[in-house]
Amino acid sequence: MGGILGLVVLNAALFGSYLAGGGTLGTFIHAAPIEGTAILGAGIGGMLIGNSMGTFKAAFAGIARTFKGSKYHKEDYLNTIFCVSKVMKTLKSEGAVALEAHIEAPESSAIFSEYPKILHDHALLHLICDTVRLMVVSQGTLSPMAVEEVMDNAIKAHHHDELKASTAIGTLAGALPALGIVACVMGVVKTMDAIDQPPAILGGLVGSALVGTFIGVYLAYGMFEPFAKRLEEIINDEAAMYGVVKQIIIGTMHGHPMPLILEGARVCISHHNQPSFAEVFDGLRGK
């Protein structure tokens, strides 16, 4: 919602003030399709040169994410706390053998099947199952600090991969003003080829060339740089989910009391999604 509102305010402020000052949109309407295609097309070509196809696709999917916001909400954090707590409780009460079926085939697990969103979140599911698999295979001989280091590396690698999309969009934003100048220079060259034309025609050609500079700066600082920043914010916000999983698993391995473990997981969550102490404990008792 904020992204759509921002675009409305952006365009209303720019073009509204331009029209209010006596400007007309004729030259913009005439030149924008050609200039915009040249600038944005060149920018996309640069992205293809500078990024893998996976990162390229993730960048444009990331723009859609900026309008949707974080995929995790309070209920998702609560469900993850409940799910991982059940897994660790089963490990402590029934032993590693009882957990083997759950982690090897989570889609048919009685625990994971209660939380379909976790089942469909492959990165989160793998973090849970792969870490618990280490504990099952080692049969309780692992150091909590060693497991924590493995989890930190897994979370760091995932976060780094996620941020590639934001970086790619930010790089595009940095290139667009320069590409706008390139388009403007091309327009000036076109104008010079028509130097024998009347002033009215030359004025239109110069105006069209300047539209290229406008579009490059407009797209860079009005759209793609904000998209990159917002996507980075969303990715950083979603990273809290992996911290929740880590706190519960490592806290259990250290033998900490359950209230301390759950509070350690709860405080990892951003305030706008953070459940209350009572919501966590009352919900866990209800499970």
Structural domains counted in the chain: 1
pLDDT of 43 above 70: yes
In a domain, 6, yes or no: no
pLDDT of 42 above 90: yes
In a domain, 7, yes or no: no
Buried b / exposed e over 87-126, threshold 16 CB at 10 Å, is bbebbeeeebeebeebbeebeebebbeebeebbebeebbe
In a domain, 66, yes or no: yes
In a domain, 1, yes or no: no
How long is the chain?
A: 287
pLDDT of 58 above 90: yes
Give the model confidence (pLDDT) of 195-225 as tens digits: 878 887 878 888 888 998 999 999 999 999 9
**Axis crossing angle, helix 122-138 with helix 240-253, rounded to the nearest 10:** 10
pLDDT of 55 above 90: yes
The per-residue pLDDT for 140 is 63
User: Could you tell me the pTM of the whole model?
Assistant: 0.88
Mean pLDDT across the stretch 123-130?
A: 94
pLDDT of 63 above 90: yes
C-alpha to C-alpha distance for 49 and 29, rounded to whole angstroms: 31
In a domain, 64, yes or no: yes
C-alpha distances out from residue 151 to 157, 237, 261, Å: 10, 18, 17
In a domain, 151, yes or no: yes
In a domain, 242, yes or no: yes
**191: domain range?**
25-287
Greater confidence, 183 or 138?
A: 183
Mean pLDDT across the stretch 237-250?
A: 95
In a domain, 13, yes or no: no
